[in-house]
């Protein structure tokens, strides 16, 4: 590539914001900017944090002698949007409005598009959102549950999953759109997704209590047991929600979400730690098998990604259970910053066309 494009990637989390500057695909600067938790608590709404977060980012850039002048694009992690197709979206007023109000969800990720817009307004580059958490590419049949007024939702890890899918396709000399893949993101949350020729056709819902248990999430639990807990008088609605989505899984069983600590306990002959961790591995493998059926067994590869995919113990045991389906390939770690930059770069170089956010969901019920 003859020209070097400068791309600034922005990924807000609960108490920090990851930032990185890329020249084409090469990361030339990266930092995780910490925000004072007590200060964040002062803001009534997540959107109110915007000036403070921007200020702390600018201080970090100044400290590191990084200038954003001449930056071609600003790519932010999105959120709070209606269900949409995967891809890179130009940040327009409709997208910005939905992010500001958290149209579908209140989460710090919604600040990504707002910060990208702010920086682009100051420095002149193009503002983008790349494969936000709201990506929804489900097959119609995947949306149906056993209750007529409850539908399955697409809530997983599209940014990282699509990035490793594109990387794998490049590694084998093919296009993502020509492959069938089962991908599992294994981190604080665990999602398993069937990628059908460039589309996330079905996935375990990492937010609403579906799929394998994870370090901090309970995963699928028998519904009647949950009903009894909810009406037992022992828990508030908030406590039940947190137990399912924040303090379930390894935390509920073992009191920690730190896999390194769990592995150390296993090495020290903690039998319960071993069976719980093995159960999480078992559930991930079982879901991989289930999502292979979405692709009718015609799976080109199974990809394992996320921070916990660094653990050979986990990878070996998953591989042993699912290798009969397809080759298992590991892309350990998270590639969210690289994914943000790569999505913007594909648009800047003409490999993809930026999509327009309409504010209309790709699916709004069966009619």
Domain boundaries, the chain: 6-135+337-356, 140-334
pLDDT per residue as tens digits for the range 30-63: 999 999 989 999 999 999 999 999 999 999 999 9
Q: Are 164 and 331 in contact (CB under 8 A)?
A: yes
pLDDT value of position 1: 62
User: How remote is the C-alpha of 74 from its chain's centroid?
Assistant: 19
- The CATH number that domain 6-135+337-356 falls under is 3.30.420.40
Domain 6-135+337-356 identical in fold to domain 140-334: yes
How far apart are alpha carbons 271 and 278 in whole angstroms? Answer: 10
Sheet harboring 355-356: ordered strands across? 26-34, 16-23, 6-12, 73-76, 126-130, 88-90, 355-356
Distance CA 182, CA 180 (A): 7
Fold of 140-334: Nucleotidyltransferase; domain 5 (3.30.420)
Q: In Å, how far are 37, 205, 251 from 226, measured between CA atoms?
A: 32, 17, 18
pLDDT tens-digit readout, 158-203:
999 999 999 999 999 999 999 999 999 999 999 999 999 999 999 9
Indicate the angle between helix axes 271-294 and 259-267, nearest 10 degrees.
Answer: 130
The pLDDT value recorded for residue 252 is: 97
Q: Compute φ and ψ for 152, nearest 5 degrees.
A: -75, 140
Q: Nearest CA to 329 among 162, 167, 199?
A: 167
Residue pair 100/114 in contact by the 8 Å Cβ criterion:
yes
What whole-number percentage of the chain has pLDDT above 70?
Answer: 100
Q: Does residue 286 have a pLDDT over 70?
A: yes
Say whether pLDDT at 141 is over 90: yes
State how far the Cα of 169 lies from the Cα of 157, in Å rounded to an integer.
Answer: 18
pLDDT on residue 367: 79
Residue 11 pLDDT level (bands cut at 50, 70, 90): very high
Residue 74 has pLDDT above 80, yes or no: yes
Mean pLDDT, residues 279-307: 98
User: How confident is the model over 83-136, as pLDDT tens digits?
Assistant: 999 999 999 999 999 999 999 988 899 999 999 999 999 999 999 999 999 999
């Amino acid at each position: 590539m003859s020209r070097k494009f400068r791309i600034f990637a922005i990924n807000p989390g609960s108490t920090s914001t990851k930032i990185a500057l890329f020249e084409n695909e090469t990361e030339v600067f990266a930092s995780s900017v910490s925000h004072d938790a007590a200060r964040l608590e002062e803001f009534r709404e997540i959107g109110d944090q915007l000036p403070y977060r921007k200020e702390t980012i600018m201080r970090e850039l100044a400290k590191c002698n990084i200038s954003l002048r001449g930056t071609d694009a600003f790519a932010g992690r999105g959120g709070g949007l209606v269900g949409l197709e995967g891809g890179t979206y130009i940040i327009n007023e409709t997208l910005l409005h939905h992010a500001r109000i958290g149209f579908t969800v209140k989460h710090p990720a919604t600040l990504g598009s707002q910060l990208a817009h702010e920086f682009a307004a100051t420095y002149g580059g193009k503002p983008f959102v790349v494969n936000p958490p709201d990506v929804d590419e489900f097959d119609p049949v995947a949306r149906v549950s056993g209750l007529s007024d409850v539908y399955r939702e697409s809530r997983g890890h599209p940014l990282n999953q699509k990035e490793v899918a594109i990387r794998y396709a490049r590694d084998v000399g093919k296009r993502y759109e020509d492959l069938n893949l089962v991908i599992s993101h294994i981190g604080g949350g665990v999602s398993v997704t069937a990628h059908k020729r460039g589309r996330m056709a079905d996935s375990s819902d990492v937010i609403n209590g579906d799929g394998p248990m994870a370090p901090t999430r309970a995963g699928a639990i028998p519904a009647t047991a949950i009903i009894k807990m909810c009406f037992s008088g022992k828990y508030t609605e908030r406590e039940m929600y947190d137990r399912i989505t924040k303090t379930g899984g390894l935390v509920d069983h073992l009191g920690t979400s730190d896999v390194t600590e769990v592995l150390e306990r296993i090495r020290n002959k903690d039998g319960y730690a071993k069976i719980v961790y093995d159960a999480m591995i078992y559930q991930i493998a079982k879901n991989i098998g289930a999502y292979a059926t979405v692709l009718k067994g015609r799976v080109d590869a199974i990809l394992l990604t996320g921070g916990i995919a660094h653990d050979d113990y986990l990878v070996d045991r998953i591989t042993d259970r699912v290798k009969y389906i397809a080759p298992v390939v590991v892309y350990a770690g998270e590639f969210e910053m690289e994914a943000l930059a790569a999505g913007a770069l594909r648009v800047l170089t003409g490999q993809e066309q930026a999509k327009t956010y309409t504010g209309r969901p790709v699916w709004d019920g069966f009619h």
